Amino acid sequence: MDTLLTTARLRGERAVRASFAGAAAPGNGRRTVFDCEQGSFLPAAVLARPEDGPESVDESANRAFDGLGLTRDFYKEVFQRDSIDGRGMRLDGYVHFGVKFNNAFWDGRQMVFGDGDGKQLGDLTGSLDVIAHELTHGVTEHTAGFEYHNQSGALNESISDVFGSLVKQWSLKQSAEEADWLIGADVWTPGIDADALRSLKAPGHAYNNALFGRDPQPDRMSKFIHLPDTEEGDNGGVHFNSGIPNKAFFLTAVGIGGFAWEAAGPIWYESLKVSGAEAQFQDFAHTTFQKAGELFGVGSAEQSAVLAAWQEVEIPIRGVPTGVVRARNLAANGHGGVGQQDGLAALTKQIGELSAKMTKLAKDVNALKATR
C-alpha cells in the first residue's frame, strides 16, 4: 500500500513538473546520485556519487550512475539529443528510497529507486531497461507530452518501453533478432517464476504464476482492455494496452532487421517529436508511416515494414485499404515471393504519395478557412 500511495504521489508531481517544461537549469547532462538511506524526503538524502567523483562503495549508487549515463549517451549519440529535455538537463538519481519500495520512478525532475521488498522485487537499480524506461518518460514530457490516460497514456508507456529496450540493445550491440525484447527481466527475485515485467515481442507472455496470474497485456486491438480512467483502473489501462504499440514496434524492427536503433528507432523518435498530447493509436501509426517515408523513401522496405506491423496488430493506416496484404504474413506462410513483395512495395509507395497529397490538401483547406 505504501508503494502504491507513494507512486501515485510521484506521478502527480511528474504531471505538475511537466507543465514547467524548460524551467530546469541546464547542467550538461551531469549525473549526481544521492542515498535516501531508506527515507522518503529527497532533500535529506546524502551525496553518494557525483559526475567527477570516484566510484561509490554502494553498488546501487554505481548501477544507478551507470544507467543514467548509458541512457544519456544513447540519446546523445543516436538522436543528437542533449539529455532528457534536449537542453542538457542534469540527471539526479536517488537510491534506497523508502522501505521495501517496489518501484523506480521519474518524477519530472529526478529518478528515484526503491530497494524492492526482497520477496517479489529486488533492487530496482539492477535493470538498465527499467532505468531507461523511466528516463524516457522525461523525453516524452518534453516532446509529445502524451496525456497519461487511455490510448495516449498507453502510447506514453509504450514509448518508454520501446526506448528502454533500445538503450539495452544499444549498450549490448544487439541486433533486433538477437535482443530479448524484455523489460525488467532483472527485477524479479529468484523466488518469482517470471521472465520479466513486460515483453515487446510477446505481450501477454512475460509472466504466468500463481502469485500474479498471467501477464494481461494484449497484442492486438481485438484484445484491447477497456478500464475506467481512474487510478484503480490504471488510468484507462495504460500499462496494459501499451502492449499493442509495443508489438507494432517489435514487428517493425525485426521486419527491417539489423540494429533497431538505426531505422525503427529514428522512425518512432521523429514521430514522437511531432505527435500531439492527445494522440490515439491510429494517429501515431499514421505518423510513423509518414515518417518512414520521409526518412527512408516512400515505398521503401522500412515504410513497408511499418505498414505491415500496424496491420498485424489490427490498427489501419489512414488512407490504406484494409484489404492490403501484410508482407509479414506473405513471407511467413510461404505464399509470398519476390513478385508479391515488390507489388506491396509499389502499393505502399502509391499509398504514401496519396497520403502526402491528402495531408497537403487538408493544410491548404485550413489555410483557406483561416483567411476568411
pLDDT of residue 265: 98
Q: What is the mean pLDDT of the chain?
A: 86
**Is residue 239 annotated as part of the catalytic site, yes or no?**
yes
Closest by CA position to 271, among listed 137, 159, 116: 159
256 pLDDT higher than 80? yes
pLDDT tens, 1-32?
455 555 555 555 445 444 444 444 456 899 99
* Mean pLDDT value of segment 45-61: 96
Spell out a b/e string for 303-342, using b for 16 or more CB atoms within 10 Å of the CB, else e: bbbbbbbbbbbebbbeebeeebbbbbebeeeeebeeeebe
CA distance 12 to 4: 12
Least confident span in 74-88, 97-111, 230-244, 294-308: 97-111
332 pLDDT higher than 90? no
Higher pLDDT, 155 or 108: 155
Cα-based distances in Å from 334 to 160, 323, 328, 330, 341? 35, 19, 10, 6, 12
362 pLDDT higher than 80? no
Sequence ranges of the domains in the chain? 2-141, 150-371
pLDDT tens, 107-117?
888 999 999 98
79 pLDDT higher than 60? yes
Give, to the nearest 10 degrees, the angle between helix 281-296 and helix 301-312. Answer: 170
Q: Which of 96, 134, 142, 149 is catalytic?
A: 134
pLDDT of residue 325: 43
pLDDT of residue 18: 47
CA distance 314 to 323: 12
329 pLDDT higher than 50? no
Q: Which CATH number fits domain 150-371: 1.10.390.10, 3.40.309.10, 3.40.50.360, 3.30.70.20?
A: 1.10.390.10
Give, to the nearest 10 degrees, the angle between helix 281-296 and helix 243-256. Answer: 20
CA distance 217 to 197: 10
Q: Which of 96, 133, 142, 239 is catalytic?
A: 239
The whole model's pTM is what? Answer: 0.83
pLDDT of residue 320: 83
358 pLDDT tier (thresholds 50, 70, 90)? low
Tell me how long the chain is.
372
335 pLDDT higher than 70? no
89 strand-pairing partners: 26
pLDDT of residue 21: 45
> In CATH, what number does 2-141 get?
3.10.170.10
Instruction: Kindly provide the residue ranges of all beta strands, DSSP E only, lying in 200-348, ordered along the sequence.
Output: 208-209, 213-214
Main-chain phi, psi angles of 322, to 5 degrees: -65, -20
pLDDT of residue 188: 81
**Is residue 226 annotated as part of the catalytic site, yes or no?**
no
Are 2-141 and 150-371 equal in CATH topology? no
Which residues does 310 contact at the CB level (< 8 Å), separation at least 6? 248, 285, 288, 289, 316, 317
